[in-house]
Chains A and B, each alone.
Chain A
Amino acid sequence: MRKIRFAALLAAVIIILPLLLSACGEDGIAGGTKTLYVYNWGEYISDGSEGCLDSNAAFEEWYFETYGERVKVNYSTFSSNESLYAKLSSGSVSYDVVVPSDYMIERLIAEDLLAPLNYDNIPEIINILPEFWGDASVHSDHDPGNVYSVPYLYGMIGIIYNTTMVDADDPSLGSWKLMWDERHAGNILQFNNSRDAFGSAQYFLGLDVNSDSEADWRKALEKLKEQKPILQGYVMDEIYNKMENGSAGIAAYYAGDYLAMYENNSDLEFFYPEEGTNLYVDAMCIPKSSKNKELAERYINFMLMEEPAIANAEYTYYASPNRLVVESEEYIDYMGEIKEDAYEKMYATDSVKTSTYENLSGEKLILINQLWEELKSDIEISAGIYAICGVIIAVLLSLGIYFGVRKRIRDNY
């Protein structure tokens, strides 16, 4: 009887497991409906929250109305270009649309991971401003002729500061110097990723952020080491909470994100450093491994249309390369309501000295990694720590000896 019950339990387990396992598998493609796999940055598309447009849902609706077919958008996010690269180069999941940054697109093209776009399916491309598409585009370094990518959103890195902690007449304002200013020690946040952190030092020192010379990178490293003691920390997205609740007063970050923070703390101000800063362009591409190229191209086309483009720009606060957005009254008003000079600030590319990151060679990347490790392991142990530990070890040793000796005396007794 027990044996039967036991066997039954075992059988149940063996049966349930595969069911559980399969239940966790990817949502089965219900025969017929095509699924479009989109891989984008987090919080980088208008998602329908707080009454704004849900761009993905809108696409599904529009597609059904225009082509009579039901499609499903499977939307997932990544948090860094490097993790996107790892996923694409591993060839595991096949994505249909990905949105890397400029230098990553360069690398993906070089490694033949992207498919050339068929612009017959993307007529709305004419909406993109000439600065961002075509020979004159800022993007032509990375994707000449825009064979593989369509710009999505862009921006510049700038310095955010809290006006209650930094005076309006502070001499360091307007320059990268603010991030190295000892008077603000303990209040400064730096990028927790090697490219942007080195970039900040390189811009400050007037070095080329794509420099081939190892000596240049080492100079940047020295500058970063100089900065480390006065920093509050190295952060990425933790920066939102820290700047918004006033835990830190100075940080470099991406322009659109500043506006997001400003919405929660109006003490925050922003400027582009005079020595120069980074301009980044994120663009939509189709990986070679995509199984739904035409559908992907239509998705890209949809995102270039006025309504989704405006919605995406409004949701993310990032700058749009789309003429329909930049010239839209509604959009201009919207930005004006967030902050008077928001529109000006976001679209100031003419008046700011910028450069873009380029893809670096494999060796360079390894070097940068090593230098980053050097920076991170550059620790000064204060005398206090040594003192406390010295005391502890001394006490432990003496206790150990005391008891050891006592035991020996007892044993010999």
Chain B
Amino acid sequence: MKKGSLFQRLAAAPHILWAIMFIVFPMIFVLFFAFTDADGNFSFSNITSLSQYGHVFVLSIAFALIATVVCLIIGYPLAYFMSKQSPRAQKVLMVLVMLPMWCNLLIRTYALMALLDNGGLLNSLLESLGLDKIQIVGTNFGVILGMIYDFLPYMVLPIFTAMTKLDPKFIEASQDLGCTTWQTMTRVIMPLTASGVISGVTMVFVPSISTFYISQKLGAGKIDLVGDTIERLFQNPSTYNVGAAVSLIMMVLIIISVGIMNRFSDDKTPSDSKGGKGGGLVP
């Protein structure tokens, strides 16, 4: 590399300044608020008060876990089948997968809720067929369903991208060597698409564990997850500190989970990790 001009060497400076101001400082403030009380004195009281939210954390993790696993179970075969279609069809299918992703989360969630509500379309249909109404909105099932519905495309897209990048020669080779379809799947395809799976899992787990809109709408305000708690605590200046503490713990939880997941992935391609949304628009 030729030595760049002064201009080039300073080019990153505005960004570095910006990053310090608006990425680093906010994080520091979260730490600061988490460890001080309302009067500004250093205190652990926020952290200890988090014990009352123990169940909330457990529930959020549980929901996110279930939603992620279900999305994986539904999404992996979907991506695989999609990759087997003709290139023309694949393009259309990809657009169909991306459309919900780019449509506002609020709209999709609200549409789902309106559909599933006790007085909504689904229940009206059931009633007219003479069946019992089912209550989905306001239940745990409803919230998890909402998460699955909202985030399935985020699981499918990275896996699908990984599948299409798969060199068919590997599959041919494994079949030449006498593998059954199942063996090809588990020993060739799955490992090779692992990075896509990790991407997808991250892109479903992280939003699931931190959402508040889905639990507000599909939980009818009764089911409070970590996201709801944080949102509520930040409505009142007197509870900013506790809110910061909750956010901190949630961040730590996520870093740990993502760290564990990355352990399982061999290739660390940063462009893949959050490539879902970006990768979608930028083929």
Is there a contact between chains A and B in the complex with CB atoms less than 8 Å apart?
yes
A180 CB to closest chain B CB (Å) equals: 15
- The answer to whether B220 touches A234 (Cβ under 8 A) is yes
A242 touches B119 (CB 8 A): yes
Q: Tell me the A45-92 residues at the B interface (CB within 8 Å).
A: 82
- Is A374's CB within 8 Å of the partner chain B? yes
A198 vs chain B, min Cβ distance (A): 15
Q: Are B118's CB and A247's CB within 8 A?
A: yes
Contacts of B135 in A (CB 8 A): 186, 232
Chain B residues, CB < 8 A from A247: 117-120, 137
Contact with B232, one of A82, A374, A376 (Cβ below 8 angstroms): A376
A369 x B56 contact (CB < 8 A): no
**B59–A232 contact, CB under 8 A?**
no
A386-B224 Cα distance, complex, nearest whole Å: 17
In the assembled complex, which residues on chain B have CB atoms less than 8 Å from the CB atom of A369? 236, 238-239
**Cα distance A283–B225 when bound, in Å?**
37
Query: Which residue of the partner chain A has the closest CB to B61?
Result: A389
In the assembled complex, the Cα of A244 lies from the Cα of B66 at a distance in Å of: 33
Q: Is the CB of A379 within 8 A of B221?
A: no
Which of the four size classes fits the interface of chain B? 35 or more
Query: Whose C-beta in chain B lies nearest to the C-beta of A162?
Result: B119
Q: Is the C-beta of A313 less than 8 angstroms from some C-beta in chain B? A: no
Q: Which of B69, B120, B236 has a CB less than 8 Å from the CB of A392?
A: B69
Chain B residues in 8 Å Cβ range of A238: 220-221
Contact A373 to B52, CB < 8 A, known contacts A242-B119, A389-B66: yes
Given A247-B137, A369-B239, A385-B59, A377-B224 contact (CB < 8 Å): yes
- Say if the beta carbon of A245 comes within 8 Å of chain B: yes
Taking the closest CB of chain A, its distance from the CB of B230, in whole angstroms, is: 12
Residues of A with C-beta under 8 A to B239: 369, 373
Q: Which residues of A contact B61 (CB under 8 A)?
A: 389
Query: In this assembly, does B91 line the interface, its C-beta being within 8 Å of a C-beta of chain A?
Result: no
In the bound complex, CA of A382 to CA of B61 (Å): 14
Contact B221 A233 (CB under 8 A): yes
**Residue A388 at the chain B interface, CB threshold 8 Å:** yes
Give bound CA distance, A385 to B144, whole Å.
11
The CA of A245 and the CA of B238, in the complex, are separated in Å by: 38
Which residue of chain B has the shortest Cβ distance to A375 in the bound complex? B224
**Which positions 220-242 of chain A face chain B at CB distance < 8 Å?**
228, 231-235, 238, 241-242
Which of B53, B66, B220, B238 gathers most chain A CB within 10 Å? B220
By a CB distance below 8 angstroms, the chain A residues around B119 are: 242, 244-247
B residues 168-212 near A (Cβ < 8 Å) are: none
Distance of A382 Cα from B144 Cα, bound (Å):
14
Contact digits for B108-148, partner A, Cβ 8 Å, 1 yes 0 no: 00000010011110000000000000010110100000000
14 contacts between A and B (CB under 8 A): A186-B135, A233-B221, A233-B222, A238-B220, A242-B118, A245-B119, A247-B137, A376-B229, A377-B52, A377-B229, A388-B66, A389-B66, A393-B65, A400-B264
